[in-house]
Amino acid sequence: MKRAIAGAVLAGGQSRRFGRPKAFALHEGAPFFTWSVAALDPIADELYIVSHPSLVDEFRRQTDIPVLLDVERCRGCGPLAGLYTVMEQSRADWVFVLPCDMPYMRREVTERLASYIDPMFDAIVPLHGVRPEPLVALYHRRLRSVIAELLDAGERRMISLLDRARVRYVDAQQLAADETVWRNVNTEGEYR
């Protein structure tokens, strides 16, 4: 049975280390965020961009994908708030999150990861050795109340959500032999 998936490009950060909005930096002539969109598009029934307030207008100039701000009660509380915001907006069974600063991510990887969806689990998360990749992962909407509890308690770490979920970890090597796809760009130096 097909499960509805909402794709969520997380672009709510302030890009302090990068020095300018990373979402709009170019990779092979296209803005970073469009690479995340392209990786999610084949498997998502609906797409959203979760944005920092200062970037909303620029996103709306560049795309017709719905642009969301974190719900007011958790605005600025990081990726966990972005995930919660999409769960509040969408009725999809699963939310596939992907950061806007991973221009090397490919659709084959997202398709493979989505193939591991199992109703026995709350989250499907790549694992690099012992290090999880919680920002390239799928989360079931039943986690919405858990996320709300974490945010209400002032907890912002994605790992705290994983600690409270039934997680299916997938070896990152099974998803992509090329480690480049996992690289995110945090600084201008990494970008060059």
Q: Is the pLDDT of residue 192 over 70?
A: no
Residue pair 4/173 in contact by the 8 Å Cβ criterion: no
Percent of the chain with pLDDT over 90: 71
- Which residue, 58, 67, 98, 78, is CA-closest to 14? 78
Which residue do the tokens 């290090």 mark? 131
Question: pTM above the 0.85 mark?
Answer: yes
Annotated binding site for GTP: 10-12, 22, 70, 101
Annotated binding site: 10-12, 22, 70, 101
Q: Is the pLDDT of residue 18 over 90?
A: no
Domain made up of 5-184: CATH architecture: Alpha-Beta Complex (3.90)
What does the radius of gyration of the chain's CA atoms come to, in whole angstroms? 15
- Residue-range domain boundaries for the chain: 5-184
d(CA 45, CA 60): 20
- Residue 6 CA from chain centroid, whole number: 10
Annotated binding site for Mg(2+): 101
pLDDT value of residue 187 = 55
Region 95-120: mean pLDDT is 95
d(CA 86, CA 18): 25
d(CA 55, CA 75): 14
Average pLDDT, the chain: 90
Q: Is the pLDDT of residue 24 over 90?
A: no
Q: How far is CA 119 from CA 93, 115, 132, in A?
A: 10, 12, 20
Region 167-187: mean pLDDT is 85
Query: Which is higher by pLDDT, 72 or 111?
Result: 111
